[in-house]
Structure 1
Amino acid sequence: MKFLAAILLLIVAVAMADQDEDSWNFYKFQFGRKHSPKDEAGRRRNFIARQRRIEKHNREHAEWQMGHNKFSDMSDDEKLALLGANPVIRRERLVSAEASLPVLDRALPASIDYRTDKCMQPIKNQGQCGSCWSFATVVPLEFNTCKKTGTAVALSEQMMVDCDTGNGGCNGGMYDRAWQFIQGKGGVMKSSAYAYTSGSSGLKGTTCKFDSTAIGAKVSSFGWTMPYPNQTVSMTYLQSDGPLPSAIKVLDSLYNYASGVYSDPACIVADENDVAHAVVIVGYGTTTATTTVPATPYWIVRNSWGTGWGLSGYFLIKRGVNMCNIESWTAYVRVV
């Protein structure tokens, strides 16, 4: 009997190894992965480990699903390079809390979704550079400038990476400091005049090439949504002031988010400064209850990891519980 059991285990192991190899080869084909012989074994191990986590999660959770993407064979260090939110301490944030809650002339709607608004620029990709903060900086400026002028505009993240010495380029930064820099500089340039290169060419911040003749937007004022964390306050600002940048804690599972409303008990944290990635809230809503999953309030969040990640570059995250600190770091900006 022991011999037969050993044979059976061997057969199962061989079958799993074959299945893993097929999955690995399909992944490389699907995502155009070509590795050197030196890197192949390590990349394959990363992928197989990720495959196991995805399978386990999707068996055990119905509220949101994981899937493979360009991050599935990356090392932990490579994924950490995609983060770059470096917030200031809370005392400094309180000093800037001068604005009061906007007074709306109508009740808050049940949902808001700016993803398809004509003033929302296409999803962008920060690449292997911790410049998420610069992408979060320009999204509301693009949106609000378009609303004011009636003309869509794409703004330069690279200008902040290269020129904003108050932030750290690919080593991280924060959108409030970037807005302050833009105010002092007289505006932010259009991306057509200052294209993004840090994530694709390996140029992680070069000599500043600021040109005042190519300015596409100017900052009038900005601030933190107060009081915080408060979903109603953030919803109010979202309606009155457009998309709201925020900073979040990132668990390893988020890299392979595929669909549904993201949540994790480990991402409800006591330390409000435990954040590492800048994103932008562009809407909210509530799911329809099913027999297996209750109705869940959510934020619609724009990321800067390209359209091949999540919901074509966006994700949903549970609203009203300060998931991953997202309701502690919402900020608004107004344009000239």
Structure 2
Amino acid sequence: MISLLSATIFILSLNVITCLYAEWEEVKPYCGARPNPQCCVSRDDNCFMPYYDSRCYCDTFCFRGIDNHDCCPDHDAVCEGKKTTVPVTAPPKSCNCIDASTGREYSLGESFKRDCNLCRCITLGHQTTLSCEEDLCINNPDLISHINSQQPYIGWTATPYDKFNGVKVKDALKHYLGTIPDRSLRTMVDNAPHDTGDYYKMENVDSFDVRTHPPWSARIRGIRDQGKCGVSWALSTVDVAADRLSLVQNITIPKDPFSVQNILSCTDQDAKQGCEGGRIAYAWGFIKDRGVVTEDCYPYESGTTGNIDACKFHLSENELNMISQHRKLKSIKCPSNTNKGEHFNFGPAYRVRDEALSIKYEIHFRGPVQATMRVPPEFFLYKSGVFRCGGSSYQNQNPRYADLAAYHSVRLLGWGVSTDPSTKQPESYWIVANSWGTGWGENGYFHVRFGSCEIEETVIATYGKSTDVLKKKSRRQ
């Protein structure tokens, strides 16, 4: 049987017609174009020719029946010597497919998009079939309705976004997230609190937000849009580094953000899989060993182009030595040719213990941190409220989507407490900065429940030190 349907395709509508396969098949050689032997006298699965999206056969055991066939169109003439009269005209109108949802008619071979899925008018035997992919689309109306029908008990609301129109969840998991899980990060040395008394006091601090904390309120970076490229591993790294550096006294942080493209293009190939993600350990290692320039020096392009070009910013051996000695680079040559670009480097990153109290202490006394979370399909639709993984139960009702998830790196900026609408009990949540622009979620931010989506398992930070700070410290010593 000719296999025209992949595993992800199913028959949405079936139009039984009166015309037989041979009456409208396009006339061109199949068996007649095979190298000798053109026909095979026994059953031979290798005796085939390409046929549309599949293959047809020229062996004795190919089958032609009223409902189905897998013989090539010219099999009878070439292999059996039968006379055939096949017109070269297009199929009659009665052989077309009709989309039951719109009433529109499509000719054989014609295709169209239904949201994110491709539909095509194809044939099986003497029948025409409108076949469509059945991948889950982000803006799936059934998914949105399922989530919002559970209000207020689910705790968060969903909405479609124009940026995700026509996008499959499986593609978005590759191109809108971008963090490859790395369990080796859990072996990093964690950074203990300076004062154990302050550490335990965090148990009684119900809410905190670095954006409104008086000494820091004007120093925290806002929301960026990574576009259609999985770069959260690098973007969250440079933004946390910028936040931490901005909180150091006597440091003038540039208004321009740090360049994510600098990391994307100039890290080792082992660090990344193109626009399908990368490893945050490499990003932190990069800014420690090589530093990072500002955005105006090396502008971000991958979110628009969908790929990562070769590195355009190169450091000499002398410059690398200067970085290792915590000496500031002067007169850097920016890919953008600006003369305003600056270069910064940092101390090593460290892990924050994977429990809420340690993370609260770290944010409260040292600033924003980087966290990696597991993202299910519903997360793309988040509008407001406290998100939690698995809360909508959609995947339980649709097992085919149960394994649709990937990892994303974000910034934790604080925490708060609200009332769980299902239990009426207090529930704590993290305040998180995403990287999909200000048009998503709550102006680019979202809340996620403590302990949900693996949000606390991999939390990384760095000391807010720059070359300038280290130089001043050396002089004092």
Please state which band the TM-score falls in when normalised by the shorter chain: 0.7 to 0.9
CA–CA distance in structure 1, aligned partners of residues 170 and 420 of structure 2: 38
Structure 1 counterpart of 2:234: 134
Q: TM-score, normalised by structure 1?
A: 0.77
**Residue 306 of structure 2, aligned match among 193, 202, 215:** 202
String of CA shifts for 1:20-68, please: whole Å, max 9, x gaps. Answer: xxxxxxxxxxxxxxxxx96643448977961221122111132111111
**Residue 275 of structure 2, aligned match among 137, 154, 170:** 170
**Residue 41 of structure 1, aligned match among 114, 120, 126:** 114
Alignment pair present for 1:93 and 2:186 = yes
Q: 1:104 to 1:215 in 2, by over 3 A?
A: farther
CA–CA distance in structure 1, aligned partners of residues 149 and 194 of structure 2: 44
Structure 2 counterpart of 1:244: 369
CA–CA distance in structure 1, aligned partners of residues 139 and 409 of structure 2: 27
CA–CA distance in structure 1, aligned partners of residues 422 and 369 of structure 2: 33
Alignment pair present for 1:182 and 2:295 = no
Shift of 1:97: 1.0
Shift of 1:167: 1.5
Contact 2:259 2:292 in 1 (8 A): yes
Structure 1 counterpart of 2:346: 219
Alignment pair present for 1:261 and 2:386 = yes
CA–CA distance in structure 2, aligned partners of residues 238 and 104 of structure 1: 15
CA–CA distance in structure 2, aligned partners of residues 326 and 219 of structure 1: 25
Larger radius of gyration: 2
Alignment pair present for 1:110 and 2:206 = yes
Structure 2 counterpart of 1:143: 243
**Residue 358 of structure 2, aligned match among 233, 247, 254:** 233
Q: Secondary structure, in 3 states, of the residue corresponding to 1:68?
A: coil
Q: 1:241 to 1:79 in 2, by over 3 A?
A: same
Contact 2:293 2:344 in 1 (8 A): yes
Q: 1:220 to 1:291 in 2, by over 3 A?
A: closer
Q: Secondary structure, in 3 states, of the residue corresponding to 1:200?
A: helix
Structure number with higher helix proportion: 1
Alignment pair present for 1:193 and 2:297 = yes
Shift of 1:180: 1.1
Contact 2:138 2:377 in 1 (8 A): no
Q: 1:241 to 1:88 in 2, by over 3 A?
A: same
Contact 1:84 1:131 in 2 (8 A): yes
Contact 1:189 1:210 in 2 (8 A): no
Contact 1:72 1:256 in 2 (8 A): no
Structure 2 counterpart of 1:158: 261
Q: 1:295 to 1:93 in 2, by over 3 A?
A: closer
CA–CA distance in structure 2, aligned partners of residues 331 and 285 of structure 1: 20
Shift of 1:104: 6.4
CA–CA distance in structure 1, aligned partners of residues 138 and 365 of structure 2: 46
CA–CA distance in structure 2, aligned partners of residues 310 and 222 of structure 1: 29
**Residue 83 of structure 1, aligned match among 177, 181, 206:** 177
Q: 1:74 to 1:181 in 2, by over 3 A?
A: same
Shift of 1:138: 1.0
Q: 1:217 to 1:111 in 2, by over 3 A?
A: farther
Contact 2:289 2:345 in 1 (8 A): no
CA–CA distance in structure 1, aligned partners of residues 437 and 137 of structure 2: 20
String of CA shifts for 1:244-297, please: whole Å, max 9, x gaps. Answer: 111111100000000000013479xxxxxx961111111101025779854321
CA–CA distance in structure 2, aligned partners of residues 53 and 291 of structure 1: 20
CA–CA distance in structure 2, aligned partners of residues 93 and 290 of structure 1: 34
**What is the root-mean-square deviation in Å for CA atoms of aligned residues?**
2.9
Q: Secondary structure, in 3 states, of the residue corresponding to 2:164?
A: coil
**Residue segments in structure 2 that go unaligned for 5+ positions in a row:** 1-100, 103-109, 119-135, 316-328, 333-340, 393-404, 467-477
Amino acid at match of 1:218: N
Taking CA–CA contacts closer than 8 Å with sequence separation of 6 or more, which of the two structures ends up with the larger relative contact order?
1
Structure 1 counterpart of 2:151: 61
Q: 1:193 to 1:327 in 2, by over 3 A?
A: same
CA–CA distance in structure 1, aligned partners of residues 343 and 374 of structure 2: 31
Shift of 1:110: 2.6
**Residue segments in structure 1 that go unaligned for 5+ positions in a row:** 1-16, 19-36, 268-273
Q: Secondary structure, in 3 states, of the residue corresponding to 1:204?
A: coil
Q: Secondary structure, in 3 states, of the residue corresponding to 1:136?
A: helix
Q: 1:296 to 1:73 in 2, by over 3 A?
A: farther
**Amino-acid identity (%):** 25
Shift of 1:175: 2.7
Amino acid at match of 1:60: Q
Structure number with higher strand proportion: 2
1:314-329 matches, within 5 Å, as: 314-319=445-450, 322-329=451-458
Q: Secondary structure, in 3 states, of the residue corresponding to 2:160?
A: coil
Q: Secondary structure, in 3 states, of the residue corresponding to 1:159?
A: helix
CA–CA distance in structure 2, aligned partners of residues 292 and 99 of structure 1: 35
